[in-house]
Chain A
Amino acid sequence: MKILIRYFALAASMLLMVTVQGQSTWTVPDAKKKTPNPVKPTTENISLGKNLYNQNCKSCHGDPGKNNGLPLTPKPVDPLSDQYQKQTDGEIFYKMQTGRGAMPNFKETIKDNDKWAIINYIRSLKKGGKTAEAEATSEPAVASATNTDTLTQSASSASGNKMAISLTIHTEDSTASIYLSELSSEGKRIPAAGVEVGLYVKRTFGNLPIFGDDIPVTDANGVAIVKIPQGLPGDTIGNLNLIAAVINTDQFGKVEATVAASFGVKTPIVDLTEETALWGRSKKAPAYLLITYFSAIIIAFGTMGYVVKEVASLRKYKKTV
């Protein structure tokens, strides 16, 4: 039975190999290739595409540009690779629609417009990729404090100018104001309007967004006001690290400012191994356990000792010599 199944599996996989080899290039009907992309690549749309990519594609295709997709055969191609980018939008759309082999089809699971958003995002990477290079060559952060609560960091904007972000916390009404600006070549700060910014709390495994469902966008003065939720757990003395950051890092690079604020809820940190519990260290074993354990040992070996002593006394009763 098992052997039969094995042979069957072997035969099936051989068949599969033949077919896969037979069509190792994934051809798309010409008509489909030419399907135009009906969705405009706006900032919002690209940002939506990015989210969708991270949710649906990244697990196999990896981080764009890092070539760290899953080691499957055939390999899920890196979206930044030439092989991937040289496809038309229509081709990528078609492949998402049909899937092949390990690549699932997303016909029903992702709405058509959302598929186009993913394609927009993938296309934006090619341009964004260049920005990333530019950023690497430019001077990194200019850090300056506009007041005690604020720290500014900057990176280069899409236009090549440096960006600066500052974060001010207003404890009275628990809001944060984020001010985003471009640094002109003369060193003046020009407000950057219409850019999505986020407010986060630094956590051990990443940043926790606290701006809610509506993404804050800077106004004409380059300012976005975000209400800070109450009751956020802080460290042992109630400190929190708040971070203001530009959301679209692909376009603007990493633009962030961090401020320590002291209105988190004090959270005592308990080291689990220091607790008196079954999972604690040996020295922290619960008393009931130790009592049971040692009394069992004492009873068992005590009784055995008693028996040995008894038996040793046999000699006393020896009569015949």
Chain B
Amino acid sequence: MASTKLSSEESRKVLDKIETDLIRPMRSHKGLELWLLFLGLIFIVGGYAYFIQLRDGLGVTAMRDYSSWGSYIANFVFFVAASLIGMFISSVFGLLKIKWVIPISRIAEMIALAFAMWAGLVIVIDMGRPDRLHHVFLYGRFQSPIVWDITVVTSYVAISMLLLLIPMIPDASILKRRMSDAPKWQQMIYNLLTLGWDAQPEQYAILKRSMRVLMILIIPIALSIHTVTSWLFAMTLRAGWDSTIFGPYFVSGAFVAGVAAVIIAMYFFRYNYKLGDYITDYHFNRIGQVLVLVSAVYIYFNLNEYFVPAYKMRTAERLHLEEMFTGHWAYMFWFAQIFCLAIPTFLLIFKKLRKPKIMLWLAVFVLIGAWLKRILIVIPVQQHPYLPIQNVPDSFKEYHFTGIEIALNILPIAGVLLIITILAKLFPVISVWEVAHEKGVDETIIK
């Protein structure tokens, strides 16, 4: 990754190659129709499920008087978690001037934006009366963590959008030049985004300063989205939620989920978009190390979150913990902790195993575990209120996912994939100008 300056002739040649390599996958639509058809099918099934839920009410889910937060909220927490990674990779590593993240930071940002946008919609799915959505803004209490959460998630969507679009300006100008055969609306988008980009030194100065300001600002916002989401639980007195480390516990868990999502996306883009020259084994090795680091931190927080109360076994906590360790939730709990966290972390310590294909599978496990973990955080706690559950129908006592619920949890995931698909077809998934910079291409010709 040397960045010695190239002569202007070499510059032109290198830039041309980068442009061609990165723009080619945007033009090839092989298999795209089939993929969109598949997503469309999920949307139709999910849409029908949502119709039934609107018509018959939330009773079609497993949510009842005791577990009034169910898999939708778990899914929401998962989405917020996965969206955190955009900030982690592009801003923290960016500010630290860590070069290897350059080819993957846009992928991370796309994932972040897609998950953050859908997180809000997952909440709407969870509402029994979505027609009263605006009441949250009209009558919300400023003292309520729910209002804070809406505020921070909205801010995060806004800033993620800026952080995706502003570094896109030089690329938009390149796209304008190279995609003159694209449909009118697509050219209009490039035209709009170009904002008079002319690769002038003043323009570079503004661009870099703006990016730096956003990268700094996004750190507290991103940390708050997941901290505040954890407060939705931790601000209550319930055994199992009433924990002082919920904020960092959630944030560290979010890094794990997000890095796993990025690894899966990297693998896909590397092979499907034939970007092997840009996303190399070196990058997989590096991101694998990152996964080990964040997982180790997460394991540490897990230890605190479960072992500390388990040592004391206060009455109310005990019921909850026993259900997790040996009771109703034990299979899910140990599967998530061992197969989806401990083992992948351990395996990735070895450099030999930090290879794309192995990492893909490990990342899939980690991501599934991350989802299950959110279920384990949200649902079991509610089945152990301080007053014993008595004289209620059986359906109140246990949580059995319904088909409608499952369809409506898959729908947002399809939605995320759709957004990423659209973004990846409109824009290069790797920042052309930043890669060119790294290769020492003369700045003034990048336009």
A residues sitting closer than 8 Å to B (CB atoms) are 2, 71, 278-282, 285-286, 289-290, 293, 297, 300-301, 303-304, 306-308, 310-320
In the A-B complex, the 8 residue pairs with the smallest Cβ-Cβ separation, listed nearest first, are A315-B196, A318-B196, A282-B141, A318-B198, A285-B142, A317-B202, A317-B200, A307-B210
A307 touches B196 (CB 8 A): no
A160 CA / B390 CA spacing, docked (Å) = 43
A134 CA / B239 CA spacing, docked (Å) = 53
User: B166: CB under 8 A from chain A?
Assistant: yes
**8 Å CB contacts to A: which residues of B134-149?**
139-143, 148
A312 CA / B197 CA spacing, docked (Å) = 10
B155 touches A297 (CB 8 A): yes
Q: Which residues of B contact A71 (CB under 8 A)?
A: 391
B residues sitting closer than 8 Å to A (CB atoms) are 139-143, 148, 151, 155, 158-159, 162, 166, 169, 195-198, 200, 202-203, 206-207, 209-210, 213-214, 217, 221, 328, 330-331, 391
A2 CA / B325 CA spacing, docked (Å) = 12
A297 CA / B141 CA spacing, docked (Å) = 16
B151 touches A297 (CB 8 A): yes
Q: Which residues of A contact B331 (CB under 8 A)?
A: 2
Q: Which residue of B lies closest to A293 (CB)?
A: B142
- Nearest-neighbour CB distance to chain A for B70, whole angstroms, equals 22
Tell me which of B143, B169, B202, B330 contacts A311 (CB under 8 A): B169
A285 CA / B195 CA spacing, docked (Å) = 43
**Can you list 29 A-B pairs, Cβ within 8 angstroms, ordered by A?**
A2-B330, A2-B331, A71-B391, A278-B143, A279-B143, A282-B140, A282-B143, A285-B141, A286-B143, A289-B142, A290-B142, A293-B142, A293-B148, A293-B151, A297-B151, A297-B155, A300-B221, A304-B159, A304-B162, A310-B206, A310-B209, A314-B197, A314-B207, A316-B196, A317-B203, A318-B196, A318-B197, A319-B198, A320-B198
Given known contacts A300-B155, A300-B221, A307-B166, A314 and B196 CB-to-CB distance under 8 angstroms:
yes
Tell me which of B142, B198, B202 contacts A282 (CB under 8 A): B142
Tell me which of B202, B206, B217 contacts A303 (CB under 8 A): B217
B210 touches A285 (CB 8 A): no
Q: Which residue of B lies closest to A290 (CB)?
A: B142
- Nearest-neighbour CB distance to chain A for B416, whole angstroms, equals 23
Given known contacts A282-B141, A293-B142, A318-B200, A304 and B195 CB-to-CB distance under 8 angstroms:
no
B195 touches A315 (CB 8 A): yes
Given known contacts A71-B391, A282-B140, A289-B143, A314 and B217 CB-to-CB distance under 8 angstroms:
no
A319 CA / B159 CA spacing, docked (Å) = 30
Q: Which residues of B contact A286 (CB under 8 A)?
A: 143
- Nearest-neighbour CB distance to chain B for A157, whole angstroms, equals 40
A312 CA / B210 CA spacing, docked (Å) = 11
A278 CA / B155 CA spacing, docked (Å) = 23
Q: Which residue of A lies closest to B235 (CB)?
A: A278
Q: Which residues of A contact B203 (CB under 8 A)?
A: 314, 317-318
A320 CA / B328 CA spacing, docked (Å) = 69
Q: Which residue of A lies closest to B213 (CB)?
A: A307
Q: Which residues of B contact A304 (CB under 8 A)?
A: 158-159, 162, 214, 217
A293 CA / B147 CA spacing, docked (Å) = 10
Given known contacts A293-B148, A300-B159, A307-B213, A314 and B143 CB-to-CB distance under 8 angstroms:
no
A282 CA / B195 CA spacing, docked (Å) = 43
Q: Which residue of B lies closest to A285 (CB)?
A: B142
A313 CA / B200 CA spacing, docked (Å) = 13
A293 CA / B209 CA spacing, docked (Å) = 27
Q: Which residue of A lies closest to B201 (CB)?
A: A317
A290 CA / B158 CA spacing, docked (Å) = 22
Max chain A Cβ within 10 angstroms of own Cβ: one of B142, B166, B210? B142
Q: Which residues of A contact B162 (CB under 8 A)?
A: 304, 307-308
A282 touches B200 (CB 8 A): no
Q: Which residues of B contact A316 (CB under 8 A)?
A: 196
Q: Which residue of B lies closest to A282 (CB)?
A: B141
A314 CA / B206 CA spacing, docked (Å) = 7
- Nearest-neighbour CB distance to chain B for A170, whole angstroms, equals 45
Q: Which residues of B contact A293 (CB under 8 A)?
A: 142, 148, 151
Q: Which residues of B contact A313 (CB under 8 A)?
A: 206
A307 CA / B151 CA spacing, docked (Å) = 20
Q: Which residues of B contact A311 (CB under 8 A)?
A: 166, 169, 195, 206-207, 210
Q: Which residues of B contact A312 (CB under 8 A)?
A: 195
- Nearest-neighbour CB distance to chain B for A284, whole angstroms, equals 9
Q: Which residue of B lies closest to A281 (CB)?
A: B141
A317 CA / B202 CA spacing, docked (Å) = 7
A319 touches B142 (CB 8 A): no
Given A314-B195, A318-B197, 13 more pairs with CB closer than 8 A: A279-B143, A282-B141, A286-B143, A289-B143, A290-B142, A293-B142, A293-B151, A303-B217, A307-B166, A311-B206, A314-B197, A317-B198, A319-B200
- Nearest-neighbour CB distance to chain B for A287, whole angstroms, equals 11
Q: Which residues of B contact A308 (CB under 8 A)?
A: 162
Q: Which residues of A contact B328 (CB under 8 A)?
A: 2
